[in-house]
Amino acid sequence: MKRTLVLAVALAASGCRTAPPAEEARRFLERAESELLQLSNEASQAAWVQSTYITMDTEALAAKANERLITAGVRLAKEASKYEKAALPPDLQRKIRLLKLAITLPAPSDPAEAAEMTKLAAGLESAYGKGRYCPGGDEKRCLNVDEITRIMASSRDPKQLLDVWQGWRSIAPPMKKDFARVVEIANKGARELGFADTGALWRSGYDMPPEDFARELDRLWEQVKPLYEQLHAYVRWKLREKYGPEAVPENGPIPAHLLGNIWAQQWDNLYPLLAPEGADPGYDLTAILKRRNTTPVDMVKYGERFFTSLTFEPLPPTFWERSMFTRPRDRDVVCHASAWDVDNVDDLRIKMCIEITADDFNVIHHELGHNFYQRAYNRQPFLFRAGANDGFHEAVGDTIALSITPEYLVRIGLLDRAPDASKDLGLLMARALDKVAFLPFGLLIDQWRWKVFSGEVKPEQYNRAWWELRRKYQGVAPAGERGEEFFDPGAKYHVPANVPYTRYFLAHILQFQFHKALSDAAGCTGPVHRCSIYDNKEAGRRLKEMLEMGASRPWQEALEKVTGTRQMDATAIRAYFKPLEDWLAVQNKGRPVGW
């Protein structure tokens, strides 16, 4: 989700009281929300143009608008400190805290450094968007990220895969110096706000102490790690069969370029190599969509109809007028899919270069989840117009995508009949290669950044630390040495764009919790992986009730609205994939598990 909003606190009333009255704090917050709403909208408009029409001028305009927002945010956050110990009603206390914690890149009070940071940040995102790899240096054959992604997904030539894998990473080394400088300046701003560093600020935004949140991530990872290890072991020996023992080790990490994805974050493109025998699901959604001459707009309409079936209102006409659904031919854009709420009310948009594939069919549901969430809480005070935590925002659309079952495809006319349940092993494998494979990647991005922000990992150690974490969590390694002349983290959009990433790990935990609870509410009595909440009004009611809360209450209360529990729990994933995990354990018997 792209939201340039950087929240902060506005100027308090005059005087030197030690505990300003609640009414004074309320007036102060009203002024803050009004100012920040205006600045946020201006920054969002500028960022939209920067992302959809990349030029030197749009970069400069976006940087300037973001600079105004960030500078005001940090200034007001510091001025608000006088209210932190005041006796305030819970809603005002929460606003004060959220204003301070929602700053992603806190600028220091020095205007020159603030301007430098926002300019560098805008340039880093644009550098990613303009990234190209030209094989053999041939300027006429340059490949953008979309084209490389398609090659990684479809090619089984290890030499070609390694070439484009390395080629895409050639865009990143020029970013390293600017990224390090952004870290340095943001840390200075974070310290001015009372945090040890920017990573500590990020970890503080989860309604619990930052050290407790870090332990919570460890607990959730340990819950799902056995399932991931079984999947990893199976994929490794199947790739070893395909590419040979000289290319894939028997018991070490898997070479990253062989996993079917430019970042090895999801492995679903390998499904044809990994499908259980006799587990053909009986249909190919990509082929069905193409055979029906489905357009990008048609793809989005399918997603909208899912939400309206749950009693959500249709998207506004401006959504269809202002969104970017395809890559323009005449200019550079950032194609990374994102959802926008440009005016923080109902100017909803998505930015995406849609391909007619099953994967993008799912991605569209994910992005629309952001848009419907954004509109659900637009009656909240401005400072509560956000997800219960950032993982909630990412989870909502994916929860809907879990309902894209064969039965759902029958109901919307894309399948004549659902395949027999004996085919479920293949469906579970395909989904595990997407969802389960992603889990450690979703965790490690910010593990790396938190070490960078704290100074534990210095610029001259960036790449080594990156690959150490990828080995530790993913069991993935590069095919050759990747020294400090490279900056491989920069080849992943969220790093140069400075978008926190732990939200995606949390989303993969939460979506299965949500899906199980909503399926129960819908009265589904079959296997949870066959449940769809499409067109169920009770499931829609529960979901809407949670979404409308926004960030007005701690996330534990929002979670309870849907699931009945206040704790995130990864056992829902294990339960969803239990038939597959049991099957994998049999397949892996006598073979190494782990790395």
Q: Which is the catalytic residue, given 147, 494, 548, 560?
A: 494
Angle subtended by helix axes 358-376 and 296-309, to nearest 10 = 50
The candidate with the shortest Cα–Cα distance to 383, out of 186, 93, 109, is 93
Read off the amino acid at residue 303: G
3-state per-residue secondary structure call for 196-254: CCHHHHHHCCCCCCHHHHHHHHHHHHHHHHHHHHHHHHHHHHHHHHHHCCCCCCCCCCE
Q: ∠ CA 199-1-178 to the nearest 5 degrees?
A: 50
Q: How far apart are alpha carbons 336 and 45 in whole angstroms?
A: 17
Question: Is 147 among the residues known to form the active site?
Answer: no
3-state secondary structure of 348: strand
DSSP state of 594: -
The dihedral sign for the CA sequence 561, 564, 566, 571: negative
473 conformational bin, left if phi > 0, alpha if psi -120 to 50, beta if neither:
alpha
How would DSSP label each residue in 323-336?
-B-S--SSS----S
Is there a contact between 103 and 8 (Cβ–Cβ < 8 Å)?
yes
Question: Is 494 among the residues known to form the active site?
Answer: yes
Angle subtended by helix axes 210-243 and 502-521, to nearest 10 = 90
Q: How far apart are alpha carbons 501 and 446 in whole angstroms?
A: 6
552-585 exposure pattern, b = at least 16 Cβ within 10 A, e = fewer: bbbbbebbebbbeeeebbbebbbebbeebbebbe
Cα–Cα separations (whole angstroms), residue 282 to 422, 525, 572, 583: 11, 23, 27, 20
Start-to-end CA span in the chain (Å)? 34
Q: How far apart are alpha carbons 274 and 120 in whole angstroms?
A: 43
Contacts of 309 (CB under 8 A, 6+ apart): 534, 535, 540
- For residue 163 the two structure tokens come to 């070439």
- For residue 458 the two structure tokens come to 């210095």
573 conformational bin, left if phi > 0, alpha if psi -120 to 50, beta if neither:
alpha
Is there a contact between 582 and 240 (Cβ–Cβ < 8 Å)?
no
Q: Tokens 């293949």 belong to which residue?
A: 426
Q: Which is the catalytic residue, given 24, 35, 367, 394?
A: 367
Q: Residues with catalytic annotation?
A: 367, 494
